[in-house]
Structure 1
């Protein structure tokens, strides 16, 4: 059950970060509200997940998978550039998350 809370925390973190981009420096009120609500839900879900998952594992997975998801959102939704360095970096993040999960 704690892993489900961690997954929910990741989803809300990714939505919140995407909304942060849409908020246009906190000048778009809808994007700003969505950002704050999603980050609140993300941190709440993460706090519940930490009751049953080591903080080092949970935080690494939360931030690592968030980074991977946001990279692809940036690529497809915001048309950000993808480089070899980004691809290698994302691969390292994925490998790191897998290694932590198999610990």
Structure 2
């Protein structure tokens, strides 16, 4: 499987895991807690595959940046969480950084 598929899978699993973390009510609800643990574990396994082909800094920047943006969107759309202008600007800068890495970095396998 291509390295990008592993990285996208890791991002998706991290987003599901973080959403389940919020739903776990401080680990008092067993199903969301189990989903969170499983998703984080599988996400880190996928990252261990990715890091064999991509520098760890680039991999982590893409994984965490994409996760931040997606979790913020989920919070806004489904959890009625609001972000102020500074938070939106910061998320936009993170997204811009991920785009720059993907388009222009020689350290990134294309």
Partner of 1:73: 74
For the residue of structure 1 that corresponds to 2:90, the secondary structure is helix
Q: CA RMSD in A?
A: 0.7
**Structure 1: tracts of 5 or more residues without a match:** none
Give 1:16-95 correspondences, 5 Å limit: 16-95=17-96
Partner of 1:97: 98
Instruction: Kindly report structure 1 stretches of 4+ aligned residues shifted beyond 6 Å.
Output: none
TM-score for both structures, normalised by structure 1: 0.97
For the residue of structure 1 that corresponds to 2:25, the secondary structure is coil
String of CA shifts for 1:57-101, please: whole Å, max 9, x gaps. 110000000000000011011100121112101110011111122
**Structure 2: tracts of 5 or more residues without a match:** 106-110
TM-score for both structures, normalised by structure 2: 0.91
Query: Which is further off, 93-102 or 55-64?
Result: 93-102
Give 1:5 shift.
0.4
Distance (Å, rounded) in 2 between the aligned partners of 1:57 and 1:3: 12
